[in-house]
Structure 1
Amino acid sequence: MKKVVISGRSMPAIGIGTWHMGDSNSLRKQEIEAIRTGIENGLQLIDTAEMYGNGKSELLVGEAIKPYNRDQLYIVDKVLPSNASHARLERSLDSSLKKVGVDYFDLYLYHWRGGVTLEETIFELNRMVLKGKIKAWGVSNFDVDDMEELLTVPHGKDCAANEDLYNIGNRGIDFDLIEWQRQHNIPLIAYSPVSQGDSLGKNLTTNEVIMEIAQNHGITPYQVLLAWAIRNPQTIAIPQTSNPKHMLDNVKAANVELTSEDLTLIDKEFPKPRKKKYLEML
Structure 2
Amino acid sequence: MKQVKIAGQVVPAIGIGTWHMGDRPAQRETEIAAIQAGISAGARVIDTAEMYGSGRAETLVGAALQPFSRQQLFLISKVLPENASRQRMEASLDASLQRLQTDYLDLYLYHWRGDVPLAETVAELQRLQTTGKIRAWGVSNFDVADLRELWQLPGGDQAAANEDLYHLGSRGLDYAVLPWQAEHDLPLIAYSPIAQGDAWGQQLTTNDTVKQIALTHQATVYQVLLAWVIRQPQVLAIPQTSSVAHMEQNLAAGDLILSPKELAALDQQYPRPTHKERLDII
Q: Which AA in structure 1 matches 2:135?
A: K
Within the alignment, does 1:88 sit opposite 2:104 as a pair?
no
**In the aligned structure 2, how far is the partner of 1:260 from the partner of 1:198?**
25
1:48-67 → structure 2 map (5 Å cutoff): 48-67=48-67
d(CA) in 2 for partners of 1:123, 1:202: 40
State how far apart, in whole Å, the 2-side matches of 1:87 and 1:236 are: 32
Q: Which runs of 5+ in 1 are unaligned?
A: none
Any conservation in 1 of the 2:169–2:202 contact (CA below 8 Å)? no
Q: Quote the residue 1:166 is aligned against.
A: 166
Give how far 1:43 is off: 0.4
Say whether the 8 Å CA contact 1:196–1:202 is kept in structure 2: no
Q: CA deviation at 1:200?
A: 3.4
| 1:204-260 Cα distance to aligned partner (Å, 9 max, x none) | 111101000000111000000000000011100000000000001001000000000
In 2: Cα distance, 1:2 partner to 1:197 partner? 23
In the superposition, the TM-score normalised over structure 2's length comes to: 0.99
Equivalent residue, structure 1, for 2:38 = 38
Amino acid at match of 2:143: D
Distance 1:67 1:151 in 2: 39
Q: Distance in 2 between matches of 1:266 and 1:220?
A: 15
Q: Is the aligned partner of 1:132 residue 2:132?
A: yes
**What corresponds to 2:231 in structure 1?**
231
1:182 and 2:185 are equivalent in the alignment: no
User: Aligned residue for 2:219?
Assistant: 219
Partner of residue 18, structure 1? 18
**CA–CA distance in structure 2, aligned partners of residues 118 and 219 of structure 1:** 43
Which residue is equivalent to 2:157?
A: 157
Task: State the partner residue of 1:120.
Answer: 120
Report the counterpart of residue 259 of structure 1 in structure 2.
Answer: 259
Q: Structure 1: which 4+ aligned runs deviate by more than 6 Å?
A: none
Mark the runs of 5 or more structure 2 residues left unpaired by the alignment: none
Structure 1 window deviating more from structure 2 (200-209 vs 131-140): it is: 200-209
Q: Tell me how far 1:198 sits from its aligned partner.
A: 4.3
Seq. identity, %: 54
8 Å CA contact 1:195, 1:201 repeated in 2? no
Q: Distance in 1 between matches of 2:198 and 2:26?
A: 22
Which deviates more from structure 2 when the two are superposed, residues 31-40 or residues 199-208? 199-208
Cα deviation, 1:122-176, whole Å, max 9, x if unaligned, reads 0100111000000000000001100000011111010000000000001101111
- Residue 148 of structure 1 is matched in structure 2 by 148
Give the aligned partner of residue 5 of structure 1.
5
Aligned length: 282
Write out per-residue CA displacement over residues 20-50 of structure 1, whole angstroms, 9 at most, x where no aligned residue: 0000111111100000001111100000000
Partner of 1:194: 194
CA distance in 2 between partners of 1:200 and 1:214 (Å): 21
1:43 and 1:201, CA in 2 relative to 1: closer, same or farther beyond 3 A?
Answer: farther
Question: Letter of the aligned partner of 1:252 in structure 2?
Answer: A
Distance 1:121 1:39 in 2: 32
- For the aligned residue pairs, the C-alpha RMSD in angstroms reads 0.8
CA distance in 2, matches of 1:223, 1:165: 17
Alpha-carbon deviation of 1:196? 2.0
- Alpha-carbon distance in 1 for matches of 2:264, 2:197: 26
